[in-house]
Amino acid sequence: MKLPILDHLKALATYQPGRPIEEVARELNIPVNDVIKLASNENPLGPSPKAIKAMQDAVPSVHLYPDGNVFYLKNKMANHLDISPESLVFWKWFQ
**What confidence score (pLDDT) does residue 15 get?**
83
- 70-77: average pLDDT: 95
The percentage of the chain sitting over the pLDDT mark of 70, rounded to a whole number, equals 96
- 5-15: average pLDDT: 87
Query: Cα–Cα distance between 44 and 30 in angstroms, integer?
Result: 17
* Residue of 78, 31, 51, 79 whose CA lies nearest to 87: 78
Instruction: Evaluate if residue 94 carries a pLDDT over 70.
Output: no
Sign of the CA dihedral 41, 42, 45, 47? positive
Instruction: Evaluate if residue 5 carries a pLDDT over 60.
Output: yes
**What confidence score (pLDDT) does residue 82 get?**
97
